[in-house]
């Protein structure tokens, strides 16, 4: 019956040590650190509380032949325990938790009110993320590049249904609601790739709607911005005819906004919001049968000849 005691230490090890990079309790930013701290303290107190309950239940079993409380005490003492442990102590603990958690809200995770050096607009779609950079023409998808140790405001909304924007190691989550622009602060303390995932059920491919925040030193971030501000090197009539109805490649006739902007697709790390890593063989599989890879997504299966497939893939791979 001492499950709490047995489980707590391995739990700490497991949570602190492993996992991918979508770990709520491996904070990489100030706000998430405050939340994690709150969690560990709550877990500690919870384990003590659970220990008390287990002990009382165990005592009840151990002393099952004896018709009184330890020390021969009776009904009055029992009611005293109910009031002491069941009313007084929880009130003290809950008030403390209430005050502390509200301080965390005010000091850390509340929506940013002052302008920050960088602003990104993130727009949820079924089932990918559109990312726009304030004051630039840069549009990308499923990857958010930010400068490290810099405050970034994410303004989030949706084009269709409710999604929820969540990069666990950087901050809490915030819902993307039609007609509403919610704000969230992103600040990465060290360079790295932080994975996130849509947290509100949004339909068939809710499972394949991931995002990465890539935090880089300022110089590399500026270089990325400069490169992504460029239009594509050239157009492809094959692409325009078959893909231009939904996708945009800046600097070419393809400029629709149904699917992700593909101007610099080849420089991105994934296909279809982290359904597949962006490798030539995966790209081939995706282009030829998107409905098998991500059933129900908005990209139709096309009928093209082998030569056309090769040409199309070569063009998409040229979009660096």
Partner 1 sequence: MAVVAPSPERTRIENLERLWAARPGLLGWLTTVDHKKIGLLYFWTTLVFFAAGGVEALLMRTQLATANERLVGPETFDQLMTMHGVTMIFFFIIPITTGAFGNYLVPLMIGARDMAFPRLNALSYWLFLGAGMFMYSSFLIHQAPNAGWFDYVPLALRQYNGGLNVDFYALGLIFTTVAATIGALNLIVTIFKLRAPGMSWNRMPLFCFAMLAASLSLVFALPALTADCIFLELQRKLGFHFFDQAHGGDPLLWQHLFWIFGHPEVYIIVLPAFGIATSIIPTFARHKMVAFPLVAMAELLVAFIGFGVWAHHMFATGLTSTTLVFFAAASMMVVIPSTIQIYAWLMTVNIGTPEFRAPLMFIGGFILFFVIGGLSGIMFAAIPFDQATTDTYFVVAHFHFIIFGAAVFPVLGGIYYWFPKVTGRMYDERLAQLSFWLTFAGTTLTFFPMHIVGLLGMTRRIYTYDGGLGWDAYNLIETIGGYVLATGLLLIAFNIVRSYRRNVPAGRDPFRGGTLEWTTTSPPPHYNFAVIPTVTSPYPNWDEPDREEDLRKLARGDLVLDQGHETPESTVNDAWPSAVAEMPPESPWPILAAATVTVAFFLLLTQHYATAGAFFVLTVLAAAGWNAHEPEEATG
Between 195 and 288, name the residue whose CB sits nearer to partner 1. 195
Between 89 and 241, name the residue whose CB sits nearer to partner 1. 89
Q: Can you tell me the distance from the alpha carbon of 128 to that of 12, in angstroms, rounded to the nearest whole number?
A: 33
Residue 137: CB minimum distance to partner 1, A: 27
Residue 317: CB minimum distance to partner 1, A: 23
Between 66 and 306, name the residue whose CB sits nearer to partner 1. 66
- Give the 3-state secondary structure of the chain: CCHHHHHHHHHHHHHHHCCCCCCCCCCCCHHHHHHHHHHHHHHHHHHHHHHHHHHHHHHHHHCCCCCCCHHHCCHHHHHHHHHHHHHHHHHHHHHHHHHHHHHHHHHHHCCCCCCCCEEEEEEEECCEEEEEECCCCCEEECEEEEECCCCEEEEEEECCCCEEEECCCCCCEEEECCCCCEEEEECCCCCEEEEEECCCCCCCCHHHCEEEEEEECHHHHHHHHHHHHCCCCCCCHHHHHHHCCCCECCCCCCECCCCCECCCHHHCCEECCCCEECCHHHHHHHHHCHHHHCCCCCCCCCCCCHHHHHHHHHHHHCCC
Residue 117: CB minimum distance to partner 1, A: 23
Residue 261: CB minimum distance to partner 1, A: 23
Between 104 and 229, name the residue whose CB sits nearer to partner 1. 104
Residue 66: CB minimum distance to partner 1, A: 7
Between 45 and 241, name the residue whose CB sits nearer to partner 1. 45
Between 84 and 234, name the residue whose CB sits nearer to partner 1. 84
Residue 36: CB minimum distance to partner 1, A: 8
Residue 210: CB minimum distance to partner 1, A: 9
Between 49 and 257, name the residue whose CB sits nearer to partner 1. 49
């Amino acid at each position: 019956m001492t499950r709490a005691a047995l489980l707590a230490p391995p739990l700490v090890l497991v949570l602190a040590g492993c996992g991918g990079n979508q770990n709520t309790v491996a904070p990489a930013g100030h706000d998430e650190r405050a939340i994690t701290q709150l969690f560990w303290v709550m877990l500690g107190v919870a384990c003590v509380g659970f220990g008390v309950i287990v002990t009382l239940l165990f005592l009840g079993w151990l002393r099952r032949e004896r018709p009184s409380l330890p020390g021969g005490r009776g009904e009055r003492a029992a009611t005293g325990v109910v009031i002491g442990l069941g009313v007084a102590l929880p009130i003290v603990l809950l008030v403390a938790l209430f005050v502390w958690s509200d301080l965390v809200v005010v000091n850390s995770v509340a929506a940013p009110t002052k302008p920050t050096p960088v602003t990104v607009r993130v727009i949820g779609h079924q089932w990918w993320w559109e990312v726009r950079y304030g004051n630039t023409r840069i549009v990308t998808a499923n990857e958010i590049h930010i400068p490290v140790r810099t405050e970034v405001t994410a303004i989030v909304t949706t084009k269709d249904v409710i999604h929820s924007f969540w990069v666990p190691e950087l901050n809490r989550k915030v819902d993307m609601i039609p007609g509403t622009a919610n704000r969230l602060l992103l600040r990465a303390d060290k360079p790295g790739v932080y994975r996130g995932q849509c947290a509100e059920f949004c339909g068939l491919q809710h499972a394949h709607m991931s995002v990465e925040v890539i935090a880089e030193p300022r110089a590399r971030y500026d270089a990325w911005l400069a490169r992504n501000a460029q239009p594509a090197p050239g157009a492809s009539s094959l692409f325009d005819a078959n893909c231009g109805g939904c996708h945009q490649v800046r600097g070419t006739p393809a400029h629709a906004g149904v699917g992700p902007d593909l101007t610099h697709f080849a420089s991105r790390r994934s296909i279809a919001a982290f359904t597949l890593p962006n490798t030539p063989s995966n790209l081939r599989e995706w282009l030829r049968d998107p409905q098998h890879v991500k059933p129900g997504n908005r990209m139709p299966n096309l009928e093209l000849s082998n030569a056309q497939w090769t040409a199309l893939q070569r063009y998409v791979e040229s979009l660096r």
